[in-house]
Amino acid sequence: MSATASGRRVASLRFKLTAWYAGLLALVLIALTVSVLRLAEGRLLTDMDARLFNTADDIAGAIGEALATSQVFGAPVRFDDVVPALGSFTSRGLLIQVVDAEGEVVRRSEAAPTDPLAAPPSADQPRRAERQIVEANGWRVRVVDYPLLLTTPTGEPRSIGAVVVGERMDTLQETLDSVRQVLLLTSALGLALAILGGWWLAGRALRPVDRITATAAAVAVGEGPGASLGRRLDVPPSGDELARLAATFNAMLDRLQAAFVAQRRFVADASHELRTPLAAIRGNTDVLARQVASLPDGGLRRDLLEAAADLQRESRRMGRLLDDLLLLARSDAAAAEGTERQRWAPVRLDEVAADAVRVAAGLADGQALRLETEPVTVLGDRDRLDQIALVLLDNALRATPPGSPVTVTARPDGPASVLLEVRDGGMGIASEHLPHVFDRFFRVDDVRSRRGGGSGLGLAIARAIVRSHGGEITAESVLGVGSVFRVRLPAVLTPTAPLDPATTSGPDPARPRHLLVNGARPPGTDA
């Protein structure tokens, strides 16, 4: 798991927390806005109805007083004679109509339409006070129908008309629109501030998780984990869940580091201790082979010689395995103690590639070794860099059939790095095996080890050395075409002194070289 991927996961969690928080808050704000608008609309309608009823009641009271006066004097009057002037009741811009028992408009305010605002009830239904919303002259009007009742001598109420008072709804709607705009603007601003605050709080809360993720990523990608296992998290004094997580993570690292140190010590001690008896076995096997060689020819001599050869071959393979294990253990120890840089010096990587090709020429079995280099310098351990090149070349020769090329390239790779590339013409590596080719003791198949002796540690050693030098090693492969191993190392940016011509073979070492070994040109000659 890379640090970038871990950071993306933490950022995704931060985004999810903020999104959930913002979503819930948005739902609350929406519900609050709808509730406030409903309450405001209800309150405005209640106030409007109260105004309409009060106005209608005032007009009805004036009509009642006029009727009472006419009855006192006993003078017969018409209904429209007792209806007062409506000018004093229209100060609020109300629409007022007074209708008779047949529903005809007897008197109206100046702004009121000529047609009745409220339809009269049917003949068999008494007129009752009610509220309704009607359309009048293209307006939505809130109307109160206030019946006028006259008590007959028999004591029964008789409808003599009604006072209809209305008010346009656009004023109420404008008020509601203003309230809605204020609520929406306030909610949007509050939601934006809440999102920013939630993002900041989520980031602050997840900061310990970021540190744990970064430490875990450093442990995961480190070759020679002793160095990365030495990291520890600062445990906050809060005592909360994150503090307990950090403490638990530190305890896990303690156990992992102790197990790693014990394993490294065991491998180093076992490899070192086994070298002595293995040397004795190899010496005695050589003596045995010489003694058997002096026996007279026959089946017994042949069988003993084959057995001695098998012992010598296996003892050599075991010796190489022990050397590799000891080298890995020492490399891990140097990485853990930070001592691997003490022997570093400027090294010409093109010379490393050329020397490796010369050595590998004696191991080639008909493969054409090609060298293409430009002068490049790195800072590192010359012996370890030689080992990287030899491991990659040996691996390429094992995979490449006779007659196919193996190309070694050393050149600049951008302004701050150099590239060492080994390209073979073998069968290639399946895509499912590529992520594991640098694992310890991993062997793709018998074909890539057909020349024998492969322990599965060569590429693991190469990766450990490359990483200790601050570089990276990668592999690409196409089945049936071949594989390419690339090593990228930091370049030495400051000029270095030229190599002593007396110690270099061929002409000017600053010139690019193109060599073909086991082909048209022998090793050590310039193109």
Produce one character per residue of 152-161: b if its CB has 16 or more CB atoms within 10 Å, e if not.
eeeeeeebbb
What distance in Å separates the CA atoms of residue 384 and residue 161, rounded to the nearest whole number? 114
Hey, what long-range contacts does 208-214 have (CB within 8 A, 24 or more apart)? 208/233, 208/236, 208/242, 208/243, 208/245, 208/246, 209/10, 209/13, 209/242, 209/245, 210/7, 210/10, 211/246, 212/245, 212/246, 212/249, 213/3, 213/6, 213/7, 213/9, 213/10, 214/3, 214/6
Stated as kind and residue range, the H or E segment containing 164 is strand 157-168
pLDDT of res. 225: 44
What distance in Å separates the CA atoms of residue 38 and residue 59, rounded to the nearest whole number? 31
What distance in Å separates the CA atoms of residue 273 and residue 326, rounded to the nearest whole number? 10
Residue-wise pLDDT tens digits, 427-470: 888 888 888 888 877 776 544 444 455 567 788 888 888 988 88
Could you say which architecture CATH assigns to the domain 3-175? 2-Layer Sandwich (3.30)
pLDDT of res. 384: 87
pLDDT of res. 180: 92
Nearest to 487 by CA among 511, 513, 459: 459
Task: List phi, psi (to 5°) of 116.
Answer: -60, 135
Could you say which architecture CATH assigns to the domain 345-517? 2-Layer Sandwich (3.30)
DSSP 98-113: EEETTS-EEEE-TTS-
Nearest to 326 by CA among 253, 380, 276: 276
Are the folds of 3-175 and 241-337 the same? no
Reduced to 3 DSSP states, what percent helix, strand and coil does the chain have, rounded to the nearest 5?
Answer: 55, 20, 30
Contact assessment for residue 218 and residue 3, using Cβ atoms and an 8 Å cutoff: yes
Classify domain 241-337 by CATH number: 1.10.287.130
Using left for φ > 0, alpha for ψ between -120 and 50, and beta otherwise, residue 210 falls in: alpha
pLDDT of res. 290: 82
pLDDT of res. 349: 93
Instruction: Output the pTM of the full model.
Output: 0.49
pLDDT of res. 88: 65
Low-confidence residues in the chain, pLDDT < 50: 1, 3, 223-226, 446-451, 495-510, 519-527
Domain map (residue ranges) of the chain: 3-175, 241-337, 345-517
| 347 three-state secondary structure | strand
Q: If you count them, how many residues does the chain have? A: 527
pLDDT of res. 25: 92
pLDDT of res. 340: 61
Contact assessment for residue 381 and residue 343, using Cβ atoms and an 8 Å cutoff: yes
Contact assessment for residue 342 and residue 322, using Cβ atoms and an 8 Å cutoff: no
